[in-house]
C-alpha cells in the first residue's frame, strides 16, 4: 500500500515539475485539452495485470483509450504467454503528457505439459497511470493498479511501457 502511494506521488510530482518534457494544461471554460483525432501507438508493455509483450494502443478523439497486449515465448518444452486488455479515461491530457484512470484484465499461462502452472492465471485491476513524452513520439507509461488475482489475492502492483505514437 505504501509503495503504491509513493509511486503515485512520484508520478504526480514528475508531472508537475516536468517543464522540459511537457507542459500539461487543464481545459479552460469552453475549451478542451483533448487531441482532435485518433492517435495509435505500438510498443512494449509489461505488468502483472494487463499482459506482457507487444502492445497496441488507440487514443480515441475523446477522453477514452484502449490497449491490447500479448506475448508468447517457448523455451525447451515450457510455453509461456500473457494477453491483456486495458481501458483508460484521461483526467489531464496534452500532446506530450497525460494522467488517467485505468482498468485492465489479463490472463497468464506457464505450462510444460498443457496444464497451466499458475495458481491464479486470471487478473483484473483498477488504478491510476501517467504518460510522458520522452522524445519525439516516444512515450513512457507508468501505472499503479490494485490487482485482483483469481485466487482471491489483491495487491497494489506497478506496470510500465514504452510506446511510439503515430497518426
pTM of the model: 0.74
Whether 134 contacts 102, CB under 8 Å: no
- Of 39 and 24, more confident: 39
- Of 116 and 9, more confident: 116
pLDDT in tens, 1-37: 555 454 445 544 544 443 333 333 334 444 344 457 8
Residues contacting residue 53 through CB under 8 Å, at least 6 positions apart = 44, 45, 46, 69, 70, 71, 72, 82
Q: Report the alpha-carbon distance of residue 130 to residue 8 in Å, rounded.
A: 9
The angle subtended at Cα 34 by Cα 31 and Cα 40, nearest 5°, is: 160
Q: Report the alpha-carbon distance of residue 156 to residue 64 in Å, rounded.
A: 23
pLDDT exceeds cutoff 50 at 150: yes
Q: Report the alpha-carbon distance of residue 70 to residue 28 in Å, rounded.
A: 38
Helix, strand, coil % over all residues of the chain, rounded to 5: 10, 60, 30
Average pLDDT for residues 121-136, to the nearest whole number?
94
Q: Is 3 left (phi over 0), alpha (psi -120 to 50) or beta?
A: alpha
Q: Would you call 33 helix, strand, or coil by DSSP? A: coil
pLDDT in tens, 56-103: 999 998 899 999 999 998 888 888 999 999 999 999 888 788 999 999
Domain coordinates in residue numbering, the chain:
2-19+38-166
Task: Give the CATH fold of the 2-19+38-166 domain.
Answer: Porin (2.40.160)
Cell triple for 160: 510500465
Radius of gyration of the chain (CA): 17
Amino acid at each position: 500500500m505504501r509503495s503504491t502511494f509513493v509511486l503515485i506521488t512520484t508520478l504526480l510530482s514528475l508531472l508537475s515539475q516536468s517543464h522540459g518534457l511537457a507542459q500539461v494544461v487543464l481545459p479552460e471554460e469552453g475549451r478542451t485539452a483533448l487531441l482532435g483525432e485518433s492517435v495509435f501507438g505500438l510498443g512494449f508493455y509489461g505488468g502483472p495485470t494487463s499482459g506482457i509483450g507487444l502492445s497496441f494502443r488507440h487514443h480515441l478523439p475523446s477522453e477514452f483509450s484502449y490497449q491490447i497486449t500479448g506475448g508468447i515465448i517457448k523455451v525447451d518444452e515450457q510455453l509461456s504467454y500473457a494477453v491483456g486488455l486495458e481501458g483508460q479515461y484521461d483526467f489531464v491530457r496534452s500532446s506530450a503528457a497525460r494522467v488517467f484512470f485505468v482498468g485492465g484484465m489479463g490472463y497468464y499461462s506457464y505450462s510444460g505439459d498443457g496444464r497451466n502452472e499458475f495458481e491464479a492465471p486470471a487478473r483484473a485491476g483498477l488504478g491510476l497511470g501517467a504518460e510522458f513524452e520522452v522524445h519525439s513520439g516516444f512515450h513512457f507509461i507508468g501505472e499503479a493498479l490494485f490487482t485482483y488475482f483469481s485466487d482471491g489475492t489483491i495487491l497494489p502492483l506497478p506496470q510500465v511501457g514504452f510506446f511510439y505514437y503515430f497518426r
